Amino acid sequence: MLQLNFNQLWRYQDEFLHGMSLTLLLTLVATVAGLAIGLAGAAAAGSRFAALRLLVRSYVEVIRNTPALIQLFLIFFVLPYAGLRLPPVYAAATALSIYMGAYATEIIRGGLASIPRSQVEAGQCLGLTRWQVFRHVILPPALRNIYPSITSQIVLLLLGTSLASQVSAPELFHAAAFVESRTFRSFEVYAVVCAIYFTLVLAFRLAFAGIGRIAFRWPTGR
Amino acid sequence: MRGFTISDFLTMLAAVQWTATLVVLALAFGAPLALLLARMCTGRSRIARLVATGILQLVQGVPVLGLLMFFYFGMPVFLGIKVPALVSVGAAFTIFTAAFLGEIWRGGIQAVHVAQGEAAACLGLTRWQTFRHVIAPQAFRIALPATVGFLVQLIKNTSLASVVGFVELARAGQLASAATFQPLLSYACVAAIYFALCFPLTLWSRSLEDKLNGAR
């Protein structure tokens, strides 16, 4: 039976902290970029042009049905052959954004599609312009529908940033590998890292729940 | 250095069996655990509910990579013996499956109207009979699309087993890429194989969902 020893890890606080900050940064960047892609994708999915719709459809399906790890490898190892050598952090941010974008597209598209057609027509009957219908009739309930899925997707993204360690972007999981190589306390290191991730996830979930409670206070009135 | 040949592709196809093995192992051991967790979450005992909810939250709050490392390095620590990679990786995916399927099935059980259980109780069915003949069949229908959707997540996530050196599809791709210096072809092939495995499941899950919504 091996002995557990966590004492050696205290010296590496800074490594863990730096890793954590990059993990959070990657999450933030991929969330913002992913939401932007998602908005554009959802708009394109409802476009008049069949080619554009097909393009968005294929993007979403390809990304959602292949492992993020392989997407990351494709971006990191293949782009240099096209003359574009991305540093690990940028490659990871790109891959995670594209990954998040596909899920966001699907979530936002679904949220907009969940608004009954009759409500839009009712808005038009009241003489609202197209923008007003979107802003006052479609958007508020759509946001409310989208919010839970998007936030849980962000939490999954936070966990998914650990993949960046596989192209040696120095985020939390990579910091773990570094500390492990110095201390040889493999199990202790990964137990600590798992605990840090869990704490982050818990903080995110609580924050999202709090924001959701404030932002979507109005009654559904059904 | 050698070129990328058909035999590289065949090696990848052969590696699919290890991806499949992981999926089958995870489901075979994870699904019963998931059912247990789902039952505990929806049961009467407060302690069981707390424990099960805690497990679900804990596993869902940790990256799959973290789970893999935890079991890969942890099993020797706890068991005192070295175990083959298949065992530790299998254990990690079992726990992963138990947590995510448990959450899906908990949702399915809770989506069945309370009155159904009450009606069954009025008819004198025991709690097990109520679950077996009244709740479970309806919950199964409700949870089936999400369950199939989870299968896709599981298949994709087994690619992470490559990180601890377990040779499945993703690892076979890495090896082919390293041997041939053809990352584009290698990883594109791997991605295509994953897509061929996952996309039919995605379509099936979606059609199940449409059917379920249509029946309402």
Domain boundaries, chain A: 8-215
CB atoms within 10 A of CB A57: 14
What percent of chain B is predicted at pLDDT more than 90? 74
- Mean predicted confidence (pLDDT) in A17-33: 96
Judge whether A191 is closer than 8 Å to chain B, CB to CB: yes
pLDDT digits (tens, 9 = 90+) for B93-151: 999 999 999 999 999 999 998 899 899 989 999 988 999 999 999 999 999 999 999 99
pLDDT digits (tens, 9 = 90+) for A182-215: 888 888 899 999 999 999 999 999 999 999 999 8
- Mean predicted confidence (pLDDT) in A32-61: 94
Residue ranges of the alpha helices (H) in chain A? 13-45, 50-64, 68-73, 88-113, 117-125, 130-132, 139-160, 172-183, 186-215
- Mean predicted confidence (pLDDT) in B49-53: 95
Q: Is residue B211 very low, low, confident or very high in pLDDT (cuts 50, 70, 90)?
A: confident
Model confidence, pTM? 0.90
pLDDT digits (tens, 9 = 90+) for B53-89: 999 999 999 999 999 999 998 888 888 888 888 999 9
Q: Please write down the HEC assignment for all residues of chain B.
A: CCCCCHHHHHHHHHHHHHHHHHHHHHHHHHHHHHHHHHHHHHCCCHHHHHHHHHHHHHHHCCCHHHHHHHHHHHHHHHHCCCCCHHHHHHHHHHHHHHHHHHHHHHHHHHHCCHHHHHHHHHCCCCHHHHHHHHHHHHHHHHHHHHHHHHHHHHHHHHHHHHHHCCCCHHHHHHHHHHHHCCHHHHHHHHHHHHHHHHHHHHHHHHHHHHHHHHHC
- Which residue range is the domain that position B173 belongs to? 6-215
Chain A CB contacts of B173 under 8 Å are 70, 73
Taking the C-alpha atoms of residue A75 and residue A61, their distance in angstroms, rounded to an integer, is 18
B138/chain A closest Cα distance in angstroms? 24
pLDDT for residue A61: 96
Q: Is residue B214 very low, low, confident or very high in pLDDT (cuts 50, 70, 90)?
A: low
Chain B CB contacts of A186 under 8 Å are 69, 73
Assigned domain for B40 exists: yes
Task: Determine which of A65, A81, A155 to mutate to test the interface with B (most B C-beta atoms within 10 Å).
Answer: A65
pLDDT for residue B181: 87
Taking the C-alpha atoms of residue A128 and residue A134, their distance in angstroms, rounded to an integer, is 9
Assigned domain for B11 exists: yes
Tokens of A70: 């392989």
Report the CATH number at residue B146.
1.10.3720.10
**Residue A171, CA atoms < 13 Å, CB-side half-sphere:** 25
Taking alpha carbons only, the member of B101, B119, B161, B111 closest to residue B136 is B111
pLDDT digits (tens, 9 = 90+) for B101-111: 999 999 999 99
B43/chain A closest Cα distance in angstroms? 24
pLDDT for residue B26: 96
pLDDT for residue A220: 66
B80 and A67 within 8 Å at the Cβ level: the answer is no
B80 and A1 within 8 Å at the Cβ level: the answer is yes
Cβ(A173)–Cβ(A131) below 8 Å:
no
**Residue A100, CA atoms < 13 Å, CB-side half-sphere:** 31
pLDDT for residue A98: 97
- Mean predicted confidence (pLDDT) in B184-203: 95
**End-to-end CA gap in chain B:** 60
Q: Does A13 have pLDDT greater than 90?
A: no
pLDDT digits (tens, 9 = 90+) for A112-156: 988 898 999 999 999 999 899 988 999 899 999 999 999 999 999
3-class DSSP state of A126: coil
The total domain count for chain B is 1
Tokens of A9: 């890890």
Chain A CB contacts of B66 under 8 Å are 162, 173, 190, 193-194, 197
Chain B CB contacts of A176 under 8 Å are 69
- Classified by CATH at the fold level, domain A8-215 comes out as MetI-like fold (1.10.3720)
The residues, ordered by sequence, that sit 6+ positions from A137 with a Cβ below 8 Å of its Cβ are A115, A119, A120, A122, A123, A128
* CA nearest to B201 within chain A: A65
- Mean predicted confidence (pLDDT) in B35-51: 93
ipTM over 0.85: yes
Question: Which residue bears the tokens 């974008």?
Answer: A101
Among the residue ranges A127-136, A151-160, B27-36, B197-206, the one predicted with the least confidence is: A127-136
- Mean predicted confidence (pLDDT) in B185-207: 95
pLDDT for residue B215: 54
Task: Determine which of B156, B181, B185, B187 to mutate to test the interface with A (most A C-beta atoms within 10 Å).
Answer: B187
pLDDT for residue B5: 85
pLDDT digits (tens, 9 = 90+) for A76-121: 998 888 888 889 999 999 999 999 999 999 999 999 988 898 999 9
Per residue in A150-162, is it b (16+ CB within 10 Å) or e — as a string?
bbebbbbbbbbbb
Taking the C-alpha atoms of residue B74 and residue A190, their distance in angstroms, rounded to an integer, is 9
Question: Which residue bears the tokens 């479609």?
Answer: A138
Cβ(A73)–Cβ(B187) below 8 Å:
yes
pLDDT for residue B165: 86
Assigned domain for B1 exists: no
